[in-house]
Structure 1
Amino acid sequence: MKKTIAGIDMPDSAMARGATERIRATESALMFHHAQRAFLFGALTGYRENMVFDMELLYVGAMFHNVGLNSAHRRSSCRYEVDSANAARDFMREHRAAASAIDEVWMAIALHTTPGIPEHLAPLVALLAAGVQMDVRGARYDEYAVDERDEIVQACPREVGFKKRILEEYARGMEHRPQTTFGTVNADVLDRWDPNYRRLNFCGLVLGSEWPN
């Protein structure tokens, strides 16, 4: 892979290389390339907005943000984002990362699908969410130059049918734990994927609780 893509230097530390190897070996090519594009779009956002952030930590967060969807977590009762964050935490401990760095990456991964929160937190949290949302749903698409988008997609291919295929990856990673989608965008995925899925409704939970009034 090119060392510089769309003006972004790809991290090449031992931990970054380890993250690349781990994710390349355990995720599909579609999800691996998505993770790299999420990093690049997030980094570009940080540069454009003059944010101070750690490039290596953003890379590790991007690499691990969807690990919780893998088959190894199919028995988990946690939100997949929490499984992903825990996997990143364990990996970073293997590389003797600082506790503060681990906490920051954990938070970024855990909150990357929670609208309206990440952009108000630390730059790493904001940028991981921005990068993921750009690649998945085209958030702020026009704020990226055409040549930036083209160079990123050339280096990290966006496979044919990516939109439908990534939704399938999400659904397969969550279909065994539908209760974890309550109050999140993940509920939209299962609502489309599983004809038997029924959303929990907050109002119904309040009105149907055992409180007498």
Structure 2
Amino acid sequence: MTTTIAGVEIPDSAMTRAATNQIRGTTSVLMFHHALRVFLFGALTGYRGNLTFDEELLYVGAMFHNAGLNVQHQRSAYRFEVDGANAAREFLRQHGAAENVIAEVWEAIALHTTPGIPEHMSPLVALVSAGVQMDVRGAGYDEFTAQQRDEILQAYPRECGFKMKIIEAYARGMEHRPKTTFGTVNADVLDRWDPNYRRLNFCGLVLGSNWPT
């Protein structure tokens, strides 16, 4: 049966059902509901801007955007966004997606925490980021109607204390690889979470390099 929330139809295909099952089986309810809200806010942003995008691919991008934080990546040395993008690439290849499509979803996930870049790329890349930014930090909050927000939250609630819980989820997924946060918003997470964390500083790296001048 088709599910429509806040005017957005949840894609119902073999691929999206498989994505749902894979992510629901490997992440917390908090993060699973977050992924669904990311899809919905991203889709509404696309509709409002009259953008042309593939709802199935947006759904997969939303589902996998935080997959790199999951326990199976605890030993990874990559940025969590790259691990999530790689997981989505493997998933899409298993489902016969074209390589250009896979590359676009990879970019959408890899860049979803990089401010100032996604909105200048394809609609898919822009909308994954927009959905994340809305649900996590309320970017564009007033561009959605109260009814849209309420319908989405009724379907996929934000847990009590969501703000701190999602910061903790990010921190837990990155605390073993602090160097990967250099130059990203992820450094803010570990700076707030871990009293022993020390940021790398770009100027310090330049001035401390092996170049004599």
Give the TM-score band, short-chain normalised.
Answer: over 0.9
C-alpha deviation, 1:34, in angstroms: 0.1
* Deviation readout 1:153-183 (Å, 9 max, x if unpaired): 0001111110000000000000000000000
Q: Give me the whole-angstrom Cα distance separating, in 1, the residues matched to 2:102 and 2:154.
A: 31
C-alpha deviation, 1:101, in angstroms: 1.0
Aligned CA RMSD, in angstroms, stands at: 0.9
C-alpha deviation, 1:51, in angstroms: 0.4
Q: How does 1:60-75 map to 2 (within 5 A)?
A: 60-75=60-75
* Deviation readout 1:6-64 (Å, 9 max, x if unpaired): 00000001100100111111110000000000000000000000000000000000000
C-alpha deviation, 1:196, in angstroms: 0.5
The runs of at least 4 consecutive aligned structure 1 residues that moved more than 2 Å come to: none
Structure 2 unaligned spans of 5+: none
C-alpha deviation, 1:98, in angstroms: 1.1
C-alpha deviation, 1:2, in angstroms: 6.7
Aligned partner of residue 197 in structure 1, secondary structure: coil
Q: How does 1:79-94 map to 2 (within 5 A)?
A: 79-94=79-94
Q: 1:113 — aligned with what?
A: 113
Q: 2:163 — aligned with what?
A: 163
1:189 aligns with 2:193: no
What TM-score, normalized to structure 1? 0.99
What TM-score, normalized to structure 2? 0.99
Structure 1 unaligned spans of 5+: none
Aligned partner of residue 159 in structure 2, secondary structure: coil
**Matched residues, number:** 213
Letter in 1 for 2:33: H
Q: How does 1:1-213 map to 2 (within 5 A)?
A: 3-213=3-213
Q: Give me the whole-angstrom Cα distance separating, in 2, the residues matched to 1:134 and 1:93.
A: 29
Aligned partner of residue 196 in structure 1, secondary structure: coil
8 Å contact 1:6–1:148 — kept in the other structure?
A: yes
